[in-house]
Amino acid sequence: MTAAHDMLFRTLADPTRRAIFERLCRQGEQTVGALTAEAGVSQPAVSKHLGLLKEAGLVRDRHEGRQTHYSAQLGALAPLMDWTREMAGFWESRFDDLEDLLKRMDQ
Amino acid sequence: MTAAHDMLFRTLADPTRRAIFERLCRQGEQTVGALTAEAGVSQPAVSKHLGLLKEAGLVRDRHEGRQTHYSAQLGALAPLMDWTREMAGFWESRFDDLEDLLKRMDQ
DNA sequence: TCAATCAATAGCCAACGGGTTATTGATTGG
DNA sequence: CCAATCAATAACCCGTTGGCTATTGATTGA
């Protein structure tokens, strides 16, 4: 439960890694070479990041000859959206409670 | 721009720290002592986490006598929601492009 | 006033994470 | 078939981070 959030937050916390993911979101499927050209770090570093993104379910890979194509898996962001909404929800419900209280005090 | 996302993701990536924030969301304002009782780590550790959460704008503190009360600042989650939505948006727009392409090919 | 309580800070340490270069494995083109 | 290209893995380094204990500062209650 919280372990999934862990992986998501931790995976997206690194700027280099998040930039790779963003690029895949914006521009669709990319090869490791193409990603490396823009990443500002070495190819092994990019591969490592892609490995972690894949473990987190944020990307898919597709092998074609000697190159590997990666693409974003947007569905993996759902738990993150849910979590954020949940936190906001708690806040609102506490606010509603306060409103109720004030209303009752008003009478 | 991305620096704000950095701070948010990085701050929420640690499970102990995120648990503290979740607790503040669920149950509202809490003292450091109350948070420490549940956190499973020492009071200094909790204080350090609260310091980082505060730096990230995720919590506010209020001093009352010798105790400090912390509360969640939900507004700080907005960039996170926006980012997630943006990523999802890129995905959809690429999907729309594909649909358009297929439609045009169909004619 | 003095002891006790609460939270923050200091100082330290071990583990982890992200980077590098070097290498391997697999695939392709000449 | 051999050289070159692409991506993954190995081995290592170093900075960061999260934890701890000890201490300090401030506030309270007796």
Nearest to A25 among B18, B25, B90 (CB): B90
pLDDT band at B100 (very low <50, low <70, confident <90, very high): low
CB–CB contacts below 8 A, A to B: 63
Distance from CA of A80 to the nearest CA of B (A): 8
Q: Which nucleotide is nearest to A14 (CA to C1')?
A: C18
- What is the pLDDT at residue B89? 83
Distance from CA of B66 to the nearest CA of A (A): 26
Contact indicator for A74, A61 with CB cutoff of 8 Å: no
Q: How far is CA B5 from CA A8, A12, B67, B99, in A?
A: 14, 9, 31, 32
CB distance B4 to B79 below 8 Å: yes
Per-residue pLDDT for B51 more than 90?
yes
Bases of chain C below 7 A from a protein C-beta are 5-11, 17-22, 25-28
Mean of the pLDDT values across residues A77-95?
85
* Cβ neighbours, 10 Å, residue A105: 7
Beta-ladder partners of B62 = B69
Position B4 confidence tier, pLDDT thresholds 50, 70, 90 = confident
Classify B70 as helix, strand or coil.
strand
Cβ–Cβ of B84/A88 closer than 8 Å?
no
Q: What is the pLDDT of residue B93?
A: 72
CA distances from B21 to A5, A89, B32, B93 (A): 13, 14, 12, 34
Site from A1, A7, A59, A94 to mutate, B interface, most B CB atoms within 10 angstroms: A94
Distance between CA atoms of residues B50 and B56, nearest Å:
10
List domains and CATH numbers for chain B. Answer: 2-106 (1.10.10.10)
Locate A26 and state its tokens: 């914006």
The position carrying tokens 């997206």 is A12
**Secondary structure element (H or E) that encloses residue B31, with its range:** strand B30-31
pLDDT tens digits along A38-59: 999 999 999 999 999 999 999 9
Q: At residue B64, does pLDDT exceed 60? A: yes
Mutate to test the interface with B, among A5, A8, A11, A12 (most CBs of B within 10 A): A12
ipTM associated with this complex: 0.88
Is the distance from CB of B8 to CB of B14 less than 8 angstroms?
Answer: no
User: Percentage of chain A surpassing pLDDT 70?
Assistant: 84
Mean pLDDT of the B39-48 span: 98
Q: What phi and psi values does residue A60 have, to the nearest 5 degrees? A: -115, 150
State how far the Cα of A56 lies from the Cα of A49, in Å rounded to an integer. 11
Tokens representing A5 are: 């959030």
Residues 6+ apart with CB under 8 A from B33: B43, B67
